[in-house]
């Protein structure tokens, strides 16, 4: 499906609703043919159709760093510094293109939201070092490996999950 310049605003409204609390259309944004969304903490998401509406260019802009309270301990200061080193700094951008042409003829808002969730929103907290770098995937894979190692498993984590009956897991028995 293609997205027209006229449908950009409608898609942006749908995205604001899908992203949840804190997100709104940016009333201060320039009328440049792009949709601009802003979070209450200053993070920003923008997108515009390119190539005749067959593709969208999406980009995020980092917000200013949260401040550390004055009476923070050394451990809290170290954690804060590590967090600041890992996150996307204020004013910096990270972008991704997404094609809207699919076999399923999905709604552009669905494709844009999926691209945001998989590639851009995690970059606010874990800035990529180069194009295509997704440090949040490595963190997730490492966490799965740690859980598998803790359980003493030699099989992949997905197989461990398949061994547990869903009803038994909900009831607290395996």
pLDDT tens string for the chain (174 positions)? 788 777 888 899 999 999 989 999 988 887 788 999 999 988 899 999 998 889 999 999 988 877 777 888 888 888 878 777 778 888 888 888 899 988 888 888 999 999 998 888 888 887 766 566 666 666 666 666 777 777 775 555 455 455 544 444 444 444
Domains in the chain: how many in total? Answer: 2
List Cβ neighbours of 148 (8 Å cut-off, separation of 6 or more): 155, 156, 157, 160
What φ, ψ does residue 99 adopt, rounded to 5°?
-80, 140
Give the CATH number for residue 80: 3.30.1460
Judgement on whether residues 71 and 156 belong to the same structural domain of the protein? no
Are 23 and 39 contacting, i.e. CB atoms less than 8 angstroms apart?
yes
Structure token digits, residue 116: 């945001």
Task: Indicate whether 52 belongs to any domain.
Answer: yes
Distance in angstroms (rounded) separating the CA atoms of residues 52 and 106: 17
Are 88 and 62 contacting, i.e. CB atoms less than 8 angstroms apart?
yes
The kind and range of the H/E element at 27 are: none
Domain that holds residue 155: 137-171
Judgement on whether residues 145 and 125 belong to the same structural domain of the protein? no
Distance in angstroms (rounded) separating the CA atoms of residues 64 and 90: 4
CB count, 10 Å around CB of 129? 8
Task: Indicate whether 37 belongs to any domain.
Answer: yes
Task: Indicate whether 41 belongs to any domain.
Answer: yes
Judgement on whether residues 128 and 151 belong to the same structural domain of the protein? no
pLDDT of residue 24: 92
Judgement on whether residues 73 and 144 belong to the same structural domain of the protein? no
């Amino acid at each position: 499906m293609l997205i027209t310049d006229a449908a950009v605003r409608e898609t942006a409204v749908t995205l604001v609703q899908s992203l949840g609390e804190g997100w709104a259309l940016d009333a201060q944004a320039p009328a440049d043919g792009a949709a601009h969304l802003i979070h209450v903490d200053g993070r920003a998401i923008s997108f515009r159709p390119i190539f005749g509406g067959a593709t969208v260019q999406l980009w995020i802009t980092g917000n200013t760093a949260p401040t550390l309270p004055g009476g923070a301990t050394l451990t809290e200061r170290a954690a804060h510094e590590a967090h600041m080193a890992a996150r996307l700094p204020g004013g910096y951008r990270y972008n991704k293109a997404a094609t809207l042409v699919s076999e399923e003829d999905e709604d552009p808002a669905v494709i844009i939201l999926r691209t945001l969730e998989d590639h851009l929103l995690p970059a606010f907290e874990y800035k990529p070092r180069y194009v295509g770098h997704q440090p949040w995937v490595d963190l997730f894979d490492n966490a799965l490996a740690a859980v598998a190692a803790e359980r003493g498993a030699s099989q992949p984590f997905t197989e461990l999950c398949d061994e547990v009956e869903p009803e038994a897991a909900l009831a607290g028995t395996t």
